[in-house]
A and B are shown apart, each in its own frame.
Chain A
Amino acid sequence: MHHISNMNRFFCIANAILPIFCVVSAGMFPVGLYYALIESPADYQQGDTVRIMYVHVPAAWGAMICYLTMAMASAVFLIYNQPLANLAARAAAPIGAGFTLIVLVTGSFWGQPVWGTGWVWDARLTSVLILFFLYLGYIALANAFEDPDRGGRAGAVLALVGAINLPIIKFSVDWWNTLHQSSSLWRIRGPSIVPEMLLPLLLMGCAYFSLFVVMMILRLRGLYAGRLLRQMRIAAASR
Chain B
Amino acid sequence: MISKNYRLGMLIGFLAFIGTAVALVLIAFEDSVVFFFTPTELQSKQVNPERRIRVGGLVEDGSTKRGPADAEIRFKITDGNTTVTIRYIGILPDLFREGQGVVAQGYLQNAVFQADEVLAKHDENYMPRNLASAMNK
Q: Give min CB distance, B129 to chain A, whole Å.
A: 4
Chain B residues, CB < 8 A from A181? 121-124
Determine if A79 is an interface residue (Cβ-Cβ < 8 Å): yes
B interface secondary structure, majority:
mixed
Count contacts on B: residues with CB < 8 A to the other chain: 41
Query: Quick check: B121 and A179 within 8 Å, CB to CB?
Result: yes
Task: Specify which of A41, A53, A187 lies most central, judged by the most chain B CB atoms within 10 Å of its CB.
Answer: A41
Secondary structure at the A interface, as helix, strand, loop or mixed, is: loop
Task: Decide: A164 and B15 in contact? CB cutoff 8 A.
Answer: yes
- Give which listed residue, B14, B19, B33, B127, contacts A44 with CB less than 8 A: B127
B residues near A179, Cβ cutoff 8 Å: 35-36, 103, 119, 121
Whether A231 is near chain B, meaning CB under 8 Å from some CB there, is: no
Residues of A within 8 A of B132 (CB): 44-45
Known contacts A116-B118, A117-B119: A177-B126 contact under CB 8 Å: no
Q: How far is the CA of A188 from the CA of B103 in the complex (A)?
A: 26
Q: Is A194 part of the binding interface, using a Cβ–Cβ cutoff of 8 Å? A: yes
Residues of B within 8 A of A (CB): 4, 7-8, 11, 14-15, 18-19, 22, 26, 30, 33-38, 56, 92-95, 100, 103, 117-133
Choose from A80, A117, A121, A196 the contact partner of B128 (Cβ within 8 Å). A196
A-B contact pairs, 25 of them (CB 8 A): A41-B130, A43-B127, A44-B127, A44-B132, A45-B100, A45-B132, A46-B95, A50-B126, A79-B11, A114-B95, A116-B93, A116-B94, A116-B95, A116-B118, A122-B35, A161-B18, A176-B35, A178-B34, A178-B35, A182-B124, A183-B124, A192-B124, A192-B125, A196-B128, A197-B126
A206 CA to B133 CA in the complex, in Å?
32
Task: Knowing A45-B95, A114-B95 are in contact, say whether A123-B33 is a contact too (CB < 8 A).
Answer: yes
Question: What is the total number of residues of chain A having a CB less than 8 Å from a CB of chain B?
Answer: 40
User: Which residue of chain A has its CB nearest to the CB of B132?
Assistant: A44
**Interface residue ranges of A172-209 to B (CB < 8 Å):** 176-179, 181-184, 187, 192-194, 196-197
Q: A114-B93, A115-B93 are contacts. A80–B121 as well, Cβ < 8 Å?
A: no
Bound CA–CA A183/B128 (angstroms): 18
What is the 8 Å Cβ interface bit string for chain A, positions 14-53, against chain B (1 contact, 0 not)?
0000000000000000000000000001111110001001
Contact of A79 among B8, B100, B120 (CB under 8 A): B8
Binding site for B on A (CB under 8 A): 41-46, 50, 53, 75, 78-80, 113-117, 120-123, 160-161, 163-164, 168, 176-179, 181-184, 187, 192-194, 196-197
Selected from B19, B34, B120, B124, the residue in CB contact (under 8 A) with A164 is B19
Q: A115 contacts B122, CB within 8 Å?
A: yes
- Complex-state Cα separation, A31 to B13, whole angstroms: 46
Please pick, from B30, B95, B124, B128, the residue contacting A176 in the complex, using a CB distance under 8 A.
B30
